[in-house]
Amino acid sequence: MSINPYRTPLLTARETARHLRMPESTLNVWLSVGSDEPLVHAVRPERRGWPRVPFVGIVEAHVLRALRAGGLPMDEIRKAAAIVRAEFADPYALAKRRIATDGVAVFVRLADESMIRARDHQHAIKDVLEHHLRDIDWDDTGTAVRLRLHHYPASAEVVIDPRFGWGSPVLTANKVKVEDVVALWRTGEPISAVAEEYDLTETVVENVLRQAA
């Protein structure tokens, strides 16, 4: 079964929030505010509690989290997202490559026009956005295809890539799911055995467990 980045649900809201290191309550608001045009796109789950966040929604949440980290108040985030989507004439603009160039300029302009009034917050938005947008890889059409989870060290790079692990975070090196590494360790296996099972170094396993477990 092929994965549609816009329509195939990959993660629950809880899983998405955990992987992005953000409050689940915040993500739930972003998923539900304005049913016609939510801040983060979702699909109707097949059953209650099943995944509802597609890959495009994961990337949107990542970008919005960066705006929040840059100092944009919660009540202004929706306004900012709406302006960017309208300016680019694309409901998925938050998950397109233009957000890494033109989009940063738009957000900085909004900040400079006193959407947020604290001194130098416009510079914080620019710096934080550019830092977080480096975690996204794009295809030739400018669509996001892979998201690096930057809280994992470079020696144990972990990504969300719909082509592997059905959207569950995987190690870039061998596409092993992080949850499989953690699950084996939780059975009581020593780190050395986990490393041998998944053809990883003990240092990589330790780094994965430190962040994921």
Which residues of the chain, if any, have pLDDT below 70? 1, 33-36, 108-124
What pLDDT, on the 0 to 100 scale, is given for residue 116?
44
**162 and 117 in a common domain:** no
Host domain of residue 173: 149-213
**108 and 203 in a common domain:** no
What pLDDT, on the 0 to 100 scale, is given for residue 84?
86
Measure the CA–CA gap between 158 and 36, rounded to whole angstroms: 33
Domain boundary among 94, 115, 142: 142
Domain boundary among 115, 142, 169: 142
**122 and 197 in a common domain:** no
**154 and 68 in a common domain:** no
What pLDDT, on the 0 to 100 scale, is given for residue 80?
81
Residue 147 pairs with which residues in a beta bridge? 136, 160
Number of domains making up the chain: 2
Note the Cα 11 to chain centre separation in Å. 11
What pLDDT, on the 0 to 100 scale, is given for residue 70?
78
What pLDDT, on the 0 to 100 scale, is given for residue 78?
83
pLDDT above 70: percentage of residues in the chain: 90
Measure the CA–CA gap between 52 and 136, rounded to whole angstroms: 21
**138 and 33 in a common domain:** yes
Domain boundary among 142, 173, 193: 142
**Alpha-helix runs per DSSP H in the chain:** 13-20, 24-32, 55-69, 74-88, 102-110, 121-133, 178-186, 191-197, 202-212
Measure the CA–CA gap between 33 and 31, rounded to whole angstroms: 6
